[in-house]
Structure 1
């Protein structure tokens, strides 16, 4: 049975509409998840043609505030960053919870388990624990460098954060911004190794821990993601691997300039007692479209 469900399109990692990364969010909390099929959800995601479309359902784990299912135009993801931030923003609005001055905690159930979110004035952030990081063969690194047309200043690594991102650090922010990838080659390399895509970063000269970042996922039909939360998570985890920060460290990331966007991502690395490290990615979000969608 088809029905019209509440729908929002939220622009993420920006305070200015149309300068961040949009996510389509459909509120399915008023129906049972068994009433819709994966094929139906995938059809909607294919139609919106955004990098991700999400569906809010009632939680089933007994501890979360909502369950989130995340789809690219071609497949379902266990987790993604900017959809997590944008969907939390939509959840607050769908449930008439105004953004107060006090900091509040919410939990999102998704394919990687329960994700903790912190909502504070001007920022929604999610917390991730230690994530898997793996070495890459030199031959694979050379393939990526050739496809990107860049050289790296540190050994690239594979980060498994839901999506499987290959993270590369190049000379500086300008080299990152100027990169002109061969998307066909990138898609071929990613597909042959089971990678989701590439995160490319370069340090800025205007301040400590400030970076330009880009995200490429042509094998997922997303040549360049304007502002990428899971990519930012992978990037700050990679920086921690390189630099071994022992004190809480804030990382500022800009993304999207080549696509006419101006995304701003806030990263935070926290290490407790030198053993437990958590990673936090956040930013602002603004609703650009509201209405109903047929499902």
Structure 2
């Protein structure tokens, strides 16, 4: 029998049992693709990560990310959390890590407290912002279980966006609609069938203004995530998209997510214009929860 060590932690929070849960296998050599997928399904979290030696020795590690049903090219809270785990083992002594992922290289800046302990990390999305088409309000509202007039279109229609291979539909909504939203699985399936621009995938990132910050919720029931308490790979394209809509060269924005689930999460984003396009970052704190081993 073979055993593989794992740890779990809560990401984008400084309070245990808040934020988004993550399982990390820090030494995954010897696991097959099928075993990684089976373990991710067994943990039944939004994502589980598996750490392997880097293809390029100049980088810190190769990280594979699986949700309940498929491998992901990039994801935010798994990148932040995996970086935190690797830092506990001594990697990143210079304050940075470089993680190889399917979508590209994810650069990490570690956060430390006054005593030098690593408390969290900020990651850079591996690709510039890429915008897809606007999507019909009625279909997106049906997916979110809200009336069409709950979607705010003064600045933009529901818009497909990504910066690491995970397209998200960014949707500005009213305060009442954000509170009332409930994903409708049938509507998600109908939308995927009717809207070829979605490429067979659909995740909704609903947001509204809340003073100087944003409040957000994310629904991706087609991958088994009915609601996600913190979604870094949606926060970064949202930060980039909002910069795109305005005239500034750079911006920073805090996003509060997961409140309705009882797992409040704080995602701290930045976005900036570069010669390659708009690039974004997201950062947050991490808290350890469990450790153990999987025996296969």
Q: Deviations over 1:23-53 (max 9, x none)?
A: 1101225x3xxx3321111111111011101
Compute the TM-score of the two structures, normalised by the length of structure 2: 0.87
Q: 2:61 — aligned with what?
A: 66
Match of 1:199 among 202, 205, 210: 205
Alpha-carbon distance in structure 1 between the residues aligned to 2:68 and 2:27: 19
Structure 2: segments with no counterpart, 5+ residues: 113-118
Alpha-carbon distance in structure 1 between the residues aligned to 2:224 and 2:182: 17
Poorly superposed stretches of 4+, deviation over 6 Å: none
Alpha-carbon distance in structure 2 between the residues aligned to 1:41 and 1:191: 29
What's the offset of the Cα at 1:276? 4.8
Q: How has the CA–CA distance of structure 1 residues 156 and 244 changed in structure 2, closer, same or farther, with 3 Å as cutoff?
A: farther
Q: 1:134 — aligned with what?
A: 132
Match of 2:102 among 106, 111, 124: 111
Q: Deviations over 1:142-200 (max 9, x none)?
A: 2002332132232221113321111111134x532332332331244246532231111
Alpha-carbon distance in structure 2 between the residues aligned to 1:232 and 1:275: 20
Q: How does 1:255-266 map to 2 (within 5 A)?
A: 255-266=257-268
Q: 2:45 — aligned with what?
A: 50
Alpha-carbon distance in structure 2 between the residues aligned to 1:183 and 1:199: 15
Q: How does 1:269-284 map to 2 (within 5 A)?
A: 269-272=271-274, 276-284=277-285
Alpha-carbon distance in structure 2 between the residues aligned to 1:243 and 1:183: 34
Q: How has the CA–CA distance of structure 1 residues 163 and 81 changed in structure 2, closer, same or farther, with 3 Å as cutoff?
A: same
Alpha-carbon distance in structure 1 between the residues aligned to 2:186 and 2:237: 23
Q: 1:168 — aligned with what?
A: 171
Q: Is the 8 A contact 2:243 2:251 kept in 1?
A: no
Q: How has the CA–CA distance of structure 1 residues 131 and 213 changed in structure 2, closer, same or farther, with 3 Å as cutoff?
A: same
Match of 2:229 among 221, 226, 230: 226
Q: Deviations over 1:179-238 (max 9, x none)?
A: 23323312442465322311111001x32xx10011100111111111111011121122
Compute the TM-score of the two structures, normalised by the length of structure 1: 0.87
What's the offset of the Cα at 1:21? 0.3
Structure 1: segments with no counterpart, 5+ residues: none
Alpha-carbon distance in structure 2 between the residues aligned to 1:28 and 1:223: 29
Aligned with 1:284: secondary structure? strand
Q: Is the 8 A contact 2:237 2:280 kept in 1?
A: no
